A and B are shown apart, each in its own frame.
Chain A
Amino acid sequence: MTDVPVLDVRAMSKVYGAGETAVHALRDVDLVVRRGEYVAVIGQSGSGKSTLLNILGCLDAPTSGHYLLEGLDVADLDERQQSILRNRQIGFIFQSFNLIPRTTALANVELPLVYAGVSRRVRRERARAALDLVGLGTREDHRPNELSGGQQQRVAVARALVTTPALLLADEPTGNLDSASTADVLGLFDSLHRAGRTIVLITHDDEVAARADRIVVVTDGVLREATPATRAEAVGRVTR
């Protein structure tokens, strides 16, 4: 079963709106990601990166084409099955943290475990461990509005990791972080990568992209693999 790709995207398109104002955010995209790969998605602002990642995270549905997750066509799954998929298989880190307001860091990190049906005691333990991992063990009782941007992002990372998902999707996880925090988060990703997790992350930062096995460039909704030869050039061109 190891030769079944984790992600298998076939001729996928996404169109927002209709008629005159239709936006073709993704055009005929093909992408295969194998187990344990670390893929960086780069591209200009508005090129369709987030659109792609949202579909990969089962948060949105493509307009046409197929998306197979672990060999399963997501379109064939109903709402409940998709929610189980999101809960068990995928850890999603948003561009804008998306923590639940007025709720402690610990409760935020616990949330996916609640929906997974983990008992209170166990999820408390695991949420604490995840917060320790991102260096926020002392901040577990803080609410999002009592945390800095970088700290909120780390809580979001802890929340994505707490279920130990096989697939980690991150939309500019370091976009709001200073260089020290960026290094911390990337170090975390490196160790997850070494532990065999599959990672797809969007970034504008060539330093970040440089850590990945593969780089995929999105230009106006069209996806292009960056070969080792074009990699440096692609990174340089996109990020300037």
Chain B
Amino acid sequence: MNVVEVVRFAVAGLLANRLRSLLTMLGIIIGIAAVILLTALGNGAAQYIQGQITGLGANSITIIPRAAGGSAGSTSGASARPLTTEDAAAIADPQGAPDVAFVAPVVQTSVDAASGRSSTTATVVGSTPDYFPGSNTRIAAGRAYDAADLAAARKVALVGRTVADDVFGPGSTPLGQEILLDNVPFQVVGVLEARGQGGGLANPDQNVLAPLTAVQSSLTGYGNLSQIVVGARSTDAQAAAESEINSILDRRHGIAAPDDRDYQVISSRQLAQVLDQTLSAFSLLLAAIAAISLVVGGIGITNIMLVSVTERTREIGIRKALGAPPSAILGQFLVESVILSVLGGLIGVAVGTAGTLIPLGDFRPVVVPSAVVLAVGVSVAIGVFFGGYPARRAARLRPIEALRRE
């Protein structure tokens, strides 16, 4: 009696009940596919959102003014002060904020962007060269404006993809051409990489980037800042930089309690924290659903093996009467359930992995290798443990008892 014979009996047993074997396997297939698909979904969502957060600029912190009396009721006499160039300078002072690497004051205004061909509405963002790393903006063609452009207040501009498309024609690279921003001519020196909607609230492809000085002198005047983009020395220094910014601005704006702040500090770190919590809850939920479907599949196998053993008790009796040792009976039924669960597991992996190739909205599910290994491991374990119980019961039967049962 060798292993080959045991496997042959098991396969014959499964083939004798093709439909039932298939349906049992279906339980495992669905369970495994669900585990893979759901964890991939959670993982994909996490990666997508993390990508979005890094899109905001690694290590970057954005300070925006908060509407006066932003926190209900506490107008507290002192009216809200806007962000100023002096605020930016104070934050840039390495004495007060040692963890800050750079500061990019930002003015922003909506303009009519035009060329000889056509026009569109764009957002002009005037800042310093640090704005590029600070906002994680990349250049597709041409160059960024530099410190010399800033110092000389040169009217040079980098246009977002949508602006280039709308003003100079789809797919165009209008380097060296002139763009009229509210009728003020700027020379296009670069085209920004397309980012798509979702980097923030505004569409960055709709932006036109120009030196702060040029924007202030020709478009906005030397008033308040729209925001200040700050870069921390490192990701680890981000929290320290945030508290330094808070203490500097609290002092400058005369703020006693955090609730009274007339500005808001937004960082990728804070966003990541909030999203991480949400995502881990989401992933846990998905994993729980997946685990339940696996258990259901396992119970399906146990159930079918019990039925199969009960139904074939007489056959077991005959085999034992003819001299089948307990190990052969145990082996036959164990191999049957292991074949069901392993085959089901493999098909489940294939189905689940194939399912992850379907993109869902903006993000793709990303297979978690450990989940695949776990799922396959669990399916084998299900076969051995859940199928083992009925198999052991069958092997222990006394021949005559098995033969008498109908």
Contact = CB atoms under 8 A, between A and B. Distances in A.
B318 A86 contact: no
A115 B328 contact: yes
Interface in B312-329: 314-315, 317-328
A84 B325 contact: yes
Contacts of B324: 83, 87, 115
Interface string A74-113: 0000011001111110001010001111100000000110
A56 B386 CA distance: 36
Contacts of A115: 1, 319, 322-325, 328
B5 A114 contact: yes
Contacts of B325: 79-80, 83-84, 115
Interface in B283-327: 314-315, 317-327
Contacts of B152: none
Interface in B211-225: none
B403 interface: yes
Given A80-B326, A115-B328, A117-B1, A60 B398 contact: yes
A234 to B, nearest CB: 28
B130 to A, nearest CB: 80
User: How big is the A interface, by class?
Assistant: 20 to 34
Contacts of A94: 321, 403
Nearest to A163: B323
Contacts of B16: 102
Contact of B398 (A61, A114, A117): A61
A117 B398 CA distance: 22
A51 to B, nearest CB: 9
B326 A92 contact: no
A88 B323 contact: yes
A159 interface: yes
Interface string A37-68: 00000000000000000100111110000000
B370 interface: no
B31 interface: no
Secondary structure type dominating chain B contacts = helix
Contacts of A83: 320, 323-326
B400 A54 contact: yes
A116 interface: yes
Nearest to A162: B322
A92 B321 contact: yes
B95 interface: no
A83 B323 CA distance: 4
Contacts of A59: 320-321, 398-400, 403
A83 B322 CA distance: 8
Contact of A111 (B322, B326, B327, B398): B322
Interface in B11-66: 16
A94 B315 CA distance: 13
Contacts of B400: 54, 59-60
A58 B325 CA distance: 13
Contacts of A85: 323
A45 B328 CA distance: 35
B277 interface: no
Contacts of B322: 86-87, 92, 111-112, 115, 159
B2 interface: yes
A183 B1 CA distance: 36
A58 B398 CA distance: 10
Given A59-B399, A79-B326, A98-B403, A86 B315 contact: no
Contacts of B2: 117
Q: Which of B319, B320, B323 counts the most A-chain CB atoms under 10 A from its CB? A: B323
Nearest to A61: B398
A111 B319 contact: yes
A85 B324 CA distance: 10
Interface in B248-284: none
Contacts of B321: 57, 59, 86, 92, 94, 98
B154 to A, nearest CB: 90
Contact of B323 (A100, A101, A112): A112
A117 B327 CA distance: 14
B197 to A, nearest CB: 64
Interface in A145-182: 159
Most chain B beta-carbon contacts within 10 A, residue among A54, A99, A100, A114: A114
Contacts of A99: 318
Interface in A172-228: none
A34 to B, nearest CB: 24
Given A59-B403, A100-B318, A114-B1, A86 B327 contact: no
A214 B373 CA distance: 68
A100 B1 contact: no
B316 to A, nearest CB: 10
A119 B214 CA distance: 94
Interface string B368-406: 000000000000000000000000000000111001000
Nearest to A91: B322
A116 to B, nearest CB: 7
B8 to A, nearest CB: 9
A213 B1 CA distance: 37
Nearest to A85: B323
B175 to A, nearest CB: 80
Nearest to A90: B323
13 contacts: A54-B400, A58-B399, A59-B400, A60-B399, A80-B325, A80-B327, A85-B323, A86-B320, A86-B321, A98-B403, A111-B319, A115-B324, A116-B323
Interface of A: 54, 57-61, 79-80, 83-88, 92, 94, 98-102, 111-112, 114-117, 159
Given A80-B327, A98-B314, A115-B324, 10 more contacts: A60-B398, A84-B323, A86-B323, A87-B322, A92-B322, A98-B321, A100-B318, A112-B322, A115-B323, A116-B323
Interface of B: 1-2, 5, 16, 314-315, 317-328, 398-400, 403
